[in-house]
Every structure is written in structure tokens, then in C-alpha cells.
Amino acid sequence: MADRIGFVGVGRMGNPMAGRLMDAGYALTVYDIRTEAMEALAARGAEVAQSSRAVADAADIVFFSLPEPKDVKSEATGENGVIAGVRAKVLVDLSTTGPRTTVPVADALARVGITFVDAPVSGGVGGARKGTLAVMASGAAEPLARVEPLLRLFGKVFAVGGKPGMGQAMKLANNLLSAAALAITSEVMVMGVKEGLDPKLMIDVINSGTGRNTATETKFPISILTRKFGYGFATGLMHKDVRLYLEEAEALGVPLDLGRAVTAAWRLAEAELGAESDYTEIVRCLESRAGVVVGAKE
């Protein structure tokens, strides 16, 4: 008998991942604090629950895709959380929360016989839809092997460690690099446009040279040069991710000079643009100061 699957948090990222589970034939029970977020999945036959506890009453394996560490903690270990459910034996967290949230949550769940698999993802909404995410999974061997076929529906699975929290550490490292690339590329592009360079030509040159990075390859051509600013990830979430990196690195006692600079850039971007703005809009902060616009010329 196939495992019954639960999914908590079916927003921008969670909805397409939950959809991929349904595409593969799994029966699904879903919960989101926003009723409208569940409507598309319910129309396809997913059972709608009223709490994470209710999901854990109905499902053997529960997935989380939640925005903030506090959300993961409350939906996992709160009064109406997974910890109070009667059926679920594995919780797979696809969120980005940092080890300092994951480890105590995993410990609390273990005391009631629920195993925690830490599996944050990278690749954006597009990757979630296409099943091309990078999945950074960590946890005990048996539950990890049990959920790996499900994780492969989301993308390429990397087993990065044998205990919860190691996947989070990998994700924070990845996201700091991504955040740094977008911030510094925005600065460089504003400088070039101020100097009179064509921004599209700049991107073409950089992508043919040693400065190539994720921002020049995708974010600038798709979202910034076109002025669409719809890449699908929020400025506030990126600020949250780099802040979590800073907290973890500080706890480990590793050098942070550049990490602090990146975090400051995203703190300013959230303050100026708002938490819900698309994170590619960070370039606007620099454009306004320099008096230029980084857009493809007609």
C-alpha cells in the first residue's frame, strides 16, 4: 500500500511541488493558512485539512514548504502541529529555516516517534514546476531512503549528511552565494550603464567571460533587462535567508566580513522595496541613487 502524503504550505513553491506528487499518483492531504492557496489542488482531488495536525492524522509522510522558521516550528511542534497527529511518522521540511530551527524541531518530533528529514530546495518556482530543483537532503538513512523517490519528483537529490540541519547549512551557503551574485551584479550593471555601456551587451560579454554567474545568466535577461521584475522570489525571503546564514556563521565563529556586507544590502532592499517585492528589484535601489535605468535598449 502506497504511503498517504500530506503537504503543509502550498504557496508559490509548495503548490507546484504538491502538484507533482499528485501527477505521480499519490493521494494528497493539504493545508495552508490561506484557503485560496488550496483551491487548485482541491479541484484536482486533494483532501483539504484544517490544520497541520489534521494533515498528520491523515498522512504517513508530511511535507512542509513554509516561509519562516517560526512557521516551521509552530506547524511542527505547536498544539495543532504535526507532533499531535496520530498517523504521520516522517516530516520532510523543504523550507529554508537554518539548522538552529531544524535541530530542536527534529529532537522534539523524535520524542514522539516522528522522524525528521531536512530537505531544502533551490531552483525557484520554475524549477518546482518542471521538477528540476536541487534538493539538499539530510537525515537518518532509513527515512531518507523512504522519501527519496518522492524527493526525486522535485528534482536532483543530494544526500548531504546523516542528521537534520546539514541540508539547511548547505542551503544557506547556496543562498548567500545567490544573494551576493544578484547584489553585486546589480551594482556592476548600474556602474556600466552610468558609464554609457549598453546593458544587454554587458550581459552578453559577462556571460562569455569570467564574471558569469546566476544573476547574469538568468535574472538579468529574464527579469531585469525586460523590466518585468517577476522572477518569483520575494525580497523579504532573500533577506531572511542571508540573515539566517549570518546567524549560523556567527555561531560557528567563521569569518563574516563579506557575508555582513551582503546581508546589509538585502536589509536595505527590503526596507526600501518592501518584503513582498520581487527580489530582482534590488537593482532599483542602486538605479535610484545613480540616476539610471538598467533596461534593454529598444
Structural domains of the chain sorted by starting position, each given as residue range(s) with its CATH number in brackets: 5-161 (3.40.50.720), 169-290 (1.10.1040.10)
Reported confidence tier of residue 116, pLDDT bands at 50, 70, 90: very high
Reported confidence tier of residue 41, pLDDT bands at 50, 70, 90: very high
Q: What is the pLDDT of residue 128?
A: 96
Compute the mean pLDDT over every residue in the chain, rounded to the nearest whole number: 96
- What's the mean pLDDT in 232-250? 96
- Which tens digit of pLDDT belongs to each residue from 211-225? 999 999 999 999 999
To the nearest whole percent, how much of the chain has pLDDT over 70? 99
- Separation of alpha carbons 67 and 294, rounded Å: 30
pLDDT for residue 148 is more than 80: yes
Q: What is the pLDDT of residue 54?
A: 98
Copy the grid coordinates of residue 97.
529555516
Q: What is the pLDDT of residue 296?
A: 72
pTM of the predicted model over 0.85? yes
Please report, in angstroms and rounded to a whole number, the separation of the first and last CA atoms in the chain.
59
Reported confidence tier of residue 1, pLDDT bands at 50, 70, 90: low
Q: Are 242 and 173 in contact (CB under 8 A)?
A: no
Q: What is the pLDDT of residue 2?
A: 78
Residue 297 annotated in active site:
no
Q: Are 64 and 77 in contact (CB under 8 A)?
A: no
Sign of CA dihedral 221, 222, 225, 230: negative
Q: CA 185 from chain center: how many Å?
A: 21
Sign of CA dihedral 231, 165, 69, 181: negative
Q: Which residues of 82-105 are buried (b: 16+ CB within 10 A; e: fewer)?
A: bbbbeebbbbbbbbbbbbebbbeb
pLDDT for residue 298 is more than 60: no
- Which tens digit of pLDDT belongs to each residue from 178-190? 999 999 999 999 9
- What's the mean pLDDT in 227-252? 96
To the nearest whole percent, how much of the chain has pLDDT over 90? 97
The one catalytic residue among 73, 89, 171, 219 = 171
For residue 24, give the amino acid letter.
A
Q: What is the pLDDT of residue 297?
A: 64
